Chain A
């Protein structure tokens, strides 16, 4: 067996660092949480750097079970980067809220290890292991503030519903296996294309079930109901991480899966139906997310619903199903990660300032109390709304581009309409921060290291917005 050791370096390093050394360090370093924190930070940075090295080193290895290099390596970098940004913000936040335990970082890194498996998977079982590892880590992280009822509720809810979704996923995989006698993507694809499966119905049902299981992870309609509750109850840094990296991971798995399930090039008979179905789901997801977000009064719920809507936008790239569509997804997820994570981290910073701070009304007059935080928050909001010159705009442009290219102009028009709806609440927050007066004028929140996260995110959305070519040319080279 030939193992492409170099290509799988990021995976190997993070697994070794986590399972081999991390646990040991943690066992012998009681009371030295800075050591554990630094260790995991270094792990993520190293893994991220290694993934950059493998950008142009593509191939499959481990009996075709994982793919290395290219898009998967880029996703590694994205996950690790998100992890670093979240960790920077997490330490102070967790300590402030009574959850400053080392295990948190173990869970965070293990969830990233799961995500990386999802991005690298070319075998259904590998995918399943990745999804489960990520999800279980998320359940724990969501309920990490164990003396807070909301946090525990969030963790439990996420766990119950998530387990249900995993059931769908496993069941679907079993059906695909039954229909094609293989778990390998390429074999499944070959069987679909050749039409040699003895159980075409199993094949279709299995595909739908897998899609359902992963729809749950990206919070697409009608499987989005958990998101607001979980996002609201979970510690804000966890929300910031789950709603960005978690979503990106699910999409990183969906892109190769859909190229298997929708062999568009060969023009299989089922494709148009699947494509139209997906388009409808995408349209409804963005409309439902944005319309529901309009009436929210809690900022975490508002951002949660907006994240549902963004899943709808990203789905447009899957609907298109072209290389351009996939590139658009990757660009958008990158942009989305920075803006959504940044926005949640700002929320986290301000969380303890006063009682109303999670209510939208608590943001009234923020520009007077915290001019810098208000300014970056406004940038995140404009970027989420898709206003140039921020990255969110260019991401949307690419998604619209791919959708129009594939003949889905109607979907683009719906996306435009829902963008207009979304402006209502994004701008609403800006209006509160800038055009209204504050109730109390004493700034008390400390930014700390989270300020660095916010700064990086805001610089990133400007750079990606003004010079999107930097990223598109990189993505386009695979």
Chain B
């Protein structure tokens, strides 16, 4: 009996290490391949990402959803003098995001196969490095290691936008790089501060997250406040939370389709993941204090993103701004600090990854055919591309939040969290955010109507080819999951439930203590 548990645990650890390092192995293989062997390079990239996905599924059997503790922990020293280690492990929240990453990456590679037309070797190499960095962010249990992974993403991403992007790609790439760096360097100082806080509490300087979890809540409130801000700035830029979102439309619009898919589906999630993993867990007191500020920004972002999306004439930009709006729900859910709200936020992260990823692929499909992103150039596409119309509609409706599809679950839960939150304690958050859902319906349905319905008047649109097999297989997996989560969200939510409960209970403990003190 004991042996079986051991074996399953070992399998989990192996699967975790595999999910993290398989892309690196793939990248090395690509580096060693001749530049001219395009087919080989593409196959290596695709096989690596698919295998990584299959490997990551082996995390599931051994994963115990009944506990909030970190599982499959690997803990080895890296830089002994500073107690920075190679420490990785997952809880429910990270598990979902790791699976999302390994799931989206093969899709992103499929998307790239036809649309990337130059410098194949460099491109696929960078994509795999990007996957390495993102998976690392989601599994790191050491603040220093986390930081390294966090920054590791910058280099591949800036190249993907800058080399394979659209017209204005240089501007977008540099902007993306600078924005991210400004936030993350302050986080580095906060990481050092945290380490020294551990030293002050007698643990010695450390970047071990599991130790720091005990240190963070004991830091005096005023210092917690600054540390919270330093971490939050970096995460909010990544999410992006209003008013730090201005890099996003540029990066999204200029990036190649696969780049946009990865940005929307995975990179943005790093920000919201960080808010839960670091801000909420390490600085519960500051989180409670600043919850209303963060929530106000989230709500403003929801409405602002929706309104700006509505007036866009470029539909890639429209989808980009819709991300600002949708990610606002995630932040609102997190800072409602209720179990429903945070659960909603976690599932909304996955949802947004799936549905916005799918929308970007749809945009890419049309762009490939017509080389324009102007909504006005299209109309009546349904008649010539019926298969595409169905899949596009599902993605669009999922993004709107139609019950029965995934988007509804996440938005409903975050809104419920906002309404019932004792910390926010005001109905306005929920009500205003809820109008964001209505706006979403407006801009997405309106866009869909202008692009897909009506008369096919533009002669260039008369003979568009329907989905190719390749494109079909890019969208089908996403669609299946969107329906699955919509119908049976429990399958996924159960995984993260205990982790979420733990975070929230910690925050509740703090509020309880403070109120008790105040009553004295």
In the bound complex, do residue B196 and residue A404 qualify as a contact, i.e. CB atoms below 8 Å apart? yes
Which candidate, A92-100, A192-200, A386-394, is the interface stretch facing chain B? A386-394
Contacts of A405 in B (CB 8 A): 196
CB of B81 within 8 A of CB of A435, answer no
On chain A, the residues within 8 Å of B182 by CB distance are 420
Residues of B within 8 A of A413 (CB): 186, 189
- The distance in angstroms between the C-alpha atoms of A131 and B144, with both chains bound, is 39
CB proximity of A424 to chain B, nearest CB, Å: 7
Residues A423 and B188 in contact, CB atoms below 8 Å apart: no
A236 to chain B, nearest CB (A): 26
| A388 lies within 8 A of B80 (CB) | no
A397, CB-defined interface residue at 8 Å: yes
Determine whether the beta carbon of A416 is less than 8 Å from that of B162: no
Q: Is A409 an interface residue (CB 8 A)?
A: yes
Distance between Cα atoms of A420 and B148 in the complex (Å): 17
A-contact 0/1 string along B168-188, CB 8 Å cutoff: 011001100110011001101
Residues of B within 8 A of A469 (CB): 77-81
Interface footprint category on B: 20 to 34
Q: Does B214 contact A (CB under 8 A)?
A: no
**Nearest Cβ in chain A — how far from B195, in angstroms?**
8
**What separation, in Å, do the CA atoms of A473 and B170 have in the docked complex?**
41
Residue A221 at the chain B interface, CB threshold 8 Å: no
- A390-427: which have CB < 8 Å to B? 393, 397, 400-401, 404-405, 409, 412-413, 416, 419-420, 423-424, 427
Q: How far is the CA of A476 from the CA of B185 in the complex (A)?
A: 26
> A393: which B residues are within 8 A, CB to CB?
148, 151
- Decide yes or no whether A468 CB sits under 8 A from chain B: yes
- Partner among A388, A409, A435, A472 whose Cβ is within 8 Å of the Cβ of B173: A435
B73 at the interface (CB under 8 A from A): no
User: How does the 8 Å CB contact mask read for B142-167 relative to A, with 1 for contact and 0 for none?
Assistant: 00100110011011001100110000
Residues of A within 8 A of B162 (CB): 431, 434-435
Whether A476 contacts B81 in the complex (CB less than 8 A), given A413-B189, A416-B186, A420-B178, comes out as yes
B82–A387 contact, CB under 8 A?
Answer: no
A344 within 8 A of partner (CB): no
A397 partner, pick from B80, B173, B188, beta carbons under 8 A: B188
A409→B195 CA distance, assembly (Å): 14
Contact A435-B170, Cβ < 8 Å, known A393-B151, A400-B189: yes
- Point out residues on B near A: beta carbons under 8 Å: 77-82, 144, 147-148, 151-152, 154-155, 158-159, 162-163, 169-170, 173-174, 177-178, 181-182, 185-186, 188-189, 192-193, 195-196
Given A388-B152, A427-B158, A469-B81, 15 extra CB contacts under 8 A: A388-B148, A388-B151, A389-B152, A400-B188, A401-B195, A412-B192, A423-B178, A424-B178, A427-B177, A427-B178, A434-B163, A435-B162, A435-B173, A468-B79, A469-B78
13 A-B contact pairs sorted by A residue (CB < 8 Å): A388-B152, A397-B188, A404-B196, A412-B192, A413-B186, A427-B158, A427-B178, A431-B170, A431-B173, A436-B170, A472-B79, A472-B82, A473-B81
A residues neighboring B (CB under 8 Å): 382, 387-389, 393, 397, 400-401, 404-405, 409, 412-413, 416, 419-420, 423-424, 427-428, 431, 434-436, 468-469, 472-473, 476
